[in-house]
Amino acid sequence: MNDSIRLARIAGIQVGLNWSVLALAALLMWSLGSFFFPDALPDSSAALHWSLAAIATVIALLSILLHEIGHALQARRDGMRIDGITLWMFGGVARFRGNFPSAGAEFRIAIAGPLVSVALAAAFSGGLALPGLPEAARDLLFWLAYINAALFLFNLLPALPLDGGRILRAILWQTTGDFNRGTTIAAKIAKGFAWALIAFGVVIFIRFGALSGIWLVFIAWFLLQAARAEARALVGRDALGDLRVRDVMTRAEAVFDPSTSASAFVDRTVFSAPSASYPVVSAGRLVGVVSSAAFAEAPRDSWAEVTVGEVMRPIDGVPVVEPDDLLADAASQLGRGIDRLPVAVDGALVGVLTVGALARALGVRAREAAAG
Ligand SMILES: [Zn+2]
């Protein structure tokens, strides 16, 4: 999940939005402005209904952000590095680097988010006790308490990668003493839950024609894919062990300046695979990635004018890894049209991680294992 917009740093943690969060905001606005507030305040104007809907939507998104900040702060306390928090279609994601240091750490990090949500639910319901509150404010507080309670409960479902799934995995990891066994069992349970949620969403949609049924199916489908990814990542982690990116990264075959023309680019890359992508460096800083495919879209007679800088993917939209990253984590970013990742330290390019180098590392590991 990449940030489309970087918002701010909160307590040193980068917070961003992915465009897909607009789908969530629109769904909340629509259901609040068209149904919840008109039902609760039938004598008020549509302008008030929509104003309340907008306020409630913003505070709901802030509540999701606080939930993720809860995870991130606890992760930092447990010595993990945090890449950032992104709000998107299905809520929030806090991204950590590396593996959880222990079962206890994973448990504490996983439970920190739901604890924030339940505290917010309690605070908003506490607000309802204030004397002399206008009806509109009561309805707003009620819905905010409800949505935070729902966030609390939903996230505690024991389905990886939801918080409840992480708590379950941490407990299984602790009791079996085996991270892999814990993950395998937790991923199986997660898939079962995801299928049950899909069935439940379909029933809600058929019985009530409610859009929330469709949304539930979407979320469950995402959960199913995520649970499969957790199980897959485990296979890679097993095979790659504690290898780091620095152990297999190579020097970039070619590095381009943003001012390079299309014809100069083609001259240097004509013998490489069309899918190959190259780092673009300006004044010592990695600024993007360019591939032959990007130029292929520009008409040939314009190649003299088009430059690398105009067709490259800017660095904000490109996954970048660091030499100290675990190879298993970096490997999960390869594939799906990305055949190499730039490796950078503090914005300066130090090498590339290619699918070929990864395959060789896997091959070496497999032979080592066969040799005992
Ligand atoms: Zn959470």
Q: Rounded to whole angstroms, how far apart are CA atoms 303 and 311?
A: 11
Reference 74, options 101, 104, 109, 115; nearest CA is: 109
- The one-digit pLDDT tens for each residue of the chain (372 residues) are 566 778 888 888 889 888 888 988 998 999 899 999 999 899 889 899 999 999 999 999 999 999 999 999 999 999 888 888 988 887 888 888 777 889 999 999 999 999 999 999 999 999 998 988 899 999 999 999 999 999 999 899 888 888 999 999 999 999 998 888 898 899 999 999 899 989 999 998 888 877 778 888 888 888 888 888 877 777 666 667 677 888 888 888 778 888 888 778 877 777 766 667 888 988 888 888 888 777 777 776 777 778 888 888 888 777 888 888 878 777 777 765 677 888 988 888 888 888 888 877 777 666 665 554
Q: Residue 236, class by beta-carbon neighbours within 10 Å (0-12 exposed, 13-18 middle, 19+ buried)?
A: middle
Which are the catalytic amino acids?
Answer: 68
Return the ∠ at Cα 5 (arms to 307 and 289), rounded to 5°. Answer: 30
Backbone angles phi, psi at 290, to 5 degrees: -130, 140
Distance of CA 253 to the CA centre of its chain: 31
Using the mean position of ligand 1's atoms as its centre, give its distance from the Cα of residue 81 in Å. 17
361 CA to middle of ligand 1, Å? 34
Residues 239 and 55: their CA atoms lie apart, in Å, by 49
CA of 249 to the centre of ligand 1 (A): 33
124 Cα to the center of ligand 1, angstroms: 19
Q: Identify whether the C-beta of residue 339 lies closer than 8 Å to the C-beta of residue 275.
A: yes
Show me where the domains of the chain are located. 5-240, 245-370
Residue 57 near residue 25 (C-beta atoms within 8 A):
yes
The span from the CA of 36 to the CA of 283, in Å, is 54
The pLDDT value given to residue 360: 79
The structure's pTM equals 0.68
**Is the CB of residue 300 less than 8 Å from the CB of residue 213?**
no
What is the structure's pLDDT at 171? 95
| Residue recorded with tokens 């992760």 | 75
**d(Cα 16, Cα 63) in Å, to the nearest integer?**
15
pLDDT (0 to 100) of residue 365: 64
What's the CA-to-centroid distance between 66 and ligand 1, angstroms?
10
Cα angle 228, 233, 239; round to 5: 135
What's the confidence (pLDDT) of residue 105? 93
Interior/surface letters 285-323, b for 16+ CB within 10 angstroms, e for the rest: ebbbbbbbebbeeeeeeebeebbbbebbeebeebebbbb
pLDDT of residue 50: 96
Q: How far apart are CA 172 and CA 110, in angstroms?
A: 14
Instruction: Give the integer Cα–Cα distance in Å for 69 and 259.
Output: 40
Determine if the peptide bond prior to 114 is cis (ω within 30°). no
Measured in Å, residue 45 CA sits from the centre of ligand 1 at: 36
44-83 burial string, b = 16+ CB within 10 Å, else e? Answer: beeeebbebbeebbebbbebbbbbbbbbbbbbbebebebe
Say which CATH architecture domain 245-370 belongs to. Answer: Roll (3.10)
- For position 366, what pLDDT does the model report? 60
pLDDT of residue 361: 75
Partnered with residue 244 across adjacent β-strands are: 326
